[in-house]
Structure 1
Amino acid sequence: MERMKFNLKYSLALFLMIGIASAVVAQKSTDTFQYKVTGRMLMDGGIYMKNPNDFGNGMEFNDLRIGVKGIYQNWTMKLEMGYAGNKATIKDAFATYSYKNSSIQIGQFYEPFSLDMLCSTFDLRFNQSPGAVLALTNSRRMGATYSYNKKHYYLCAGFFTDNDLSNLKNVSQGYAIDGRLVYRPLYEKGKLVHIGLAGIYRTPDGVSTDDENKDTFTYKSPGVSTIDNRTLVLADVDNATSQLKIGAEFLFYYQKFFLQSEYIRTHVKRKEGYNHYTAQGAYVQCSWLLLGQNYLYDEEVACPGRPEGKALELCARFNYLTLNDRAARIKGGIQKDLSIGLNYYLNKHIAFKLNYSYYISGTNTPDIKNFSVLQGRFQFIF
């Protein structure tokens, strides 16, 4: 309870700081400076249809944010706070300098890895990202990147610590070197072919002497919903010296049709006497506009966007993830799930989403039986 009160006070104080900063900017702004207050709300509800695991039905704020964006000459700045799960966190906090086709970004933001992770939560086709993405990618990290962007090519490379502003540790931080390359042989309104390859090399954080998770990488997924936020597959890989992640991505638009797919593979190098560990996952999803004409595309970070204008969208997705590695003697579990969805975008600010998911439990997860869940979402952004 005390921790909840602290988090609530902390979040209110941060939101107040953003409001004060916005007011000061408004008073001092000139013709060369532009700013706007931003925010979003994602409100979810879920009912487990087949429920042998006694998951709890309910509602939640999946994402609740407020922030400020500013533009000054060649600089773009963003500060955004989020509140969900009785916890306040710093989301994006960065500055970007752009010149011609190049840009340098410094602060806290997503590493350049995975189409679905880089995609805005407002633009996700389903309430939850695929398990392969949730388990095998990271959230925001502190670091710096250089990007080069032209019509048919996108390149991004960066250096990051292995901590974020909400998880700072009083120990030596690990580091990561990231790279992502995208080729767009076809890119015009209503038509897109996007082929990408990304990689991350990372070292583990240092730890205090009483920390049991020394030199450990953790991979986990809550499945297809956070209404009952249990971890369904989990692998703790100890005695790690480094990890290498490779991701291949494909994106295809043709007017009303949308296809997106990724394959992610993680290899952990471990200390002498321990077998190395490998995990992998993939998903494929497609959509069709029953109402509407085209899909948007975020060229600045080379990732998919929502349908343009008012639209009604029918979606389907299959996801596969395995955290098992027999040679390494690590049994994290297997996740397979199939989802279908119907999304209605009233305009670029407001949307309603409904999706159904069937989760298939794999080996090494005897406590989780197959289940299904029906979820709805109301969302707005400004």
Structure 2
Amino acid sequence: MPNARMLAAGSVLLGLALIPPPALAQDAARMEAIERQLRSLQSELARLRREAATARQEAERSRTEVRETQRRLDTAPPPAALAAVPPPAPPPDTGRVTFPNNRPTFTSADGRFSASLGGQFQYDIGGYLRDAPGNPNNRGVRDLDSFGQNLRRGRLLFGFRYDDFTFNITPDFGGSPDGSPTLYEANFNWNPIRPLTLTLGYFKPWVTLQDSMSSNDFLFLERPSIVEIARNIAAGDGRSSLGGRWAANRWFASAYLTGANYGGNSTAQGIPDQTGGVARIAGRPYADPDIDVHLGLSGNYAFDIRRTSTGQTLQLRDRAELRIDQSRLIDTGSLPADHAYAWGPEFGLRWRNFLLQGEYIHIGVEQARAGAAPRPDLGFEGGYVEGSWVLTGEPRLYTSSAAAFARPKPAHPFSLAEGGWGAWEVMARYSVADLNDKVRRGQAQATTGGVFGGRQEVVGLGLSWYPNNLLRFMLNWDIVNVDRLNPAGTTQIGQRFHTLALRTQLAF
């Protein structure tokens, strides 16, 4: 491309062409000088072109060298120092903490592991109301404490789950009476398929409707006496168990082989040891948002009764549906027994915020034969019916995992700021337990082989206040009538009295 000098030279030549000849002659020296400048400019332009071509060749050579160097770096192994440096660590797995059913639960980020903590606190205060011992309405000879207190249950619930496996352990610092910490459960569970749960360890096997309810959900402070007596034949708290349950939405089935209770082997091992079995089947033939109908049947059987220092014996007894005083007013004493069993049907009906439920239970004892003394098989029976009406309208909903009814959840928790008053519930119950069999008034039980264990009737009324889902205050008033003769069949040793007790409960 022509540069500025070349353009200037062209302009000069054009100007010279227009000058007259005389003027050209005069400027010959100047023209020669201009030509020399043009030749110099052309030489300079050629040099610049040569230098640009050389620069392009150098640049291409440099790019080729860079590409070759990069290729060698990409294919060469890393230096030993760099190879030893570990890759950056992944971010920590922090997991998460949630509160299902108000229970603090830690769950890993991948959801495979969880650990939960629960608690149960039940503190009872109450006592007995009765006339002077000489009054005909107070026929007993035993002294009952007039007032007392008891930490009925003080449990810490620890649960650990990994995939389909769960471990539960629950120590209990309460009791009947309190003061002797024990173990409520320690068991290993596996859920191979839903809704099947297999269990091994110390456990409370599912038996009867009342015993399948959580103790946080009872209508009254204690189970009816006939249920308490029957469940301890081969079930009850802390019973060594192996078995499983199938808990679907509309029906429930469970079966377990059982052994001794926790602590039962603290003395010399019994021969034979306690062995038995427990089974329950229940379901809801009809259910809708307003109605739940429950029907069921359960039983437990002791194949072998644990042998003690006094022989292979079984004792059936219970307190007056209260644990403030530890007196047991119905008691068969030690019965020489080879086997024992209990069975009974159960029913329940919920209509909106009203609940009615009950059970009949039969207990059988196969006495061990020895010598000429009469030892017939014995049969005892009892039952209960109880009802609940939640004044504030909340229902006692059905729990499929236990095939039983749970306590109401307040729709408006207690709050002075927001005006909520929690849930209020009134309850009533009639229960009977008859431990008399093969006996007649005025005739000693030794002559027939029967037993004057006594007949106990309890009429109870109750009021519960649920400020929120964690707290409950329950007031129970029971009218108790125990009709019992001494072993000779001649003297009344029963009692009539009232009980009044308040329970403060915290559960999560």
TM-score, scaled relative to structure 1: 0.87
**Does 2:495 match 1:369?**
yes
Segment drifting more, 142-151 vs 50-59: 50-59
**Does 2:277 match 1:184?**
no
Contact map agreement 2:455 2:483 (CA 8 A) in 1: yes
Partner Cα distance (2:331, 2:424) in 1: 36
Letter paired with 2:172: G
| Distance 1:224-1:26 versus aligned 2 partners, 3 A rule | closer
Deviations 1:254-301 (A, max 9, x none): 111001101111111123352111111100000101013211222112
Alignment of 1:1-382 (within 5 A): 31-51=111-131, 52=133, 54-56=143-145, 57-84=147-174, 85-98=178-191, 99-138=193-232, 139-140=236-237, 141-161=239-259, 163-168=260-265, 169=267, 170-172=269-271, 173-207=273-307, 211-212=309-310, 214-272=311-369, 274-309=375-410, 310-326=422-438, 328-364=449-485, 366-382=492-508
Structure 1 residue 151, shift from structure 2 partner: 2.6
Residue in 2 that maps onto 1:10: none
Segment drifting more, 364-373 vs 275-284: 364-373
| Distance 1:72-1:58 versus aligned 2 partners, 3 A rule | same
Letter paired with 1:357: D
Q: Which has the higher contact order (CA 8 A, sep 6+)?
A: 1
Partner Cα distance (2:287, 2:167) in 1: 28
Contact map agreement 1:36 1:70 (CA 8 A) in 2: yes
Q: RMSD value over aligned CA atoms?
A: 2.1
Identical-residue share of aligned pairs (%): 23
Letter paired with 1:196: G
Secondary structure of 1:306's partner?
coil
TM-score, scaled relative to structure 2: 0.66
Structure with the greater alpha carbon radius of gyration? 2
Partner Cα distance (1:186, 1:255) in 2: 14
Task: Give the helix-richer structure, 1 or 2.
Answer: 2
Structure 1 residue 215, shift from structure 2 partner: 1.7
Task: Give the strand-richer structure, 1 or 2.
Answer: 1
Letter paired with 2:424: L
Partner Cα distance (1:60, 1:335) in 2: 23
Deviations 1:222-251 (A, max 9, x none): 012111111111113533111121121111
Contact map agreement 1:131 1:223 (CA 8 A) in 2: yes
Structure 1 residue 206, shift from structure 2 partner: 4.0
Structure 1 residue 60, shift from structure 2 partner: 1.7
Segment drifting more, 138-147 vs 352-361: 138-147
Unaligned runs of 5+ in 1: 1-24
Contact map agreement 1:224 1:359 (CA 8 A) in 2: no
Secondary structure of 1:223's partner?
coil
Partner Cα distance (1:105, 1:27) in 2: 23
| Distance 1:29-1:95 versus aligned 2 partners, 3 A rule | farther
Contact map agreement 1:113 1:247 (CA 8 A) in 2: no
Partner Cα distance (2:356, 2:313) in 1: 35
Letter paired with 1:110: K
Partner Cα distance (1:123, 1:339) in 2: 16
Partner Cα distance (2:496, 2:173) in 1: 31
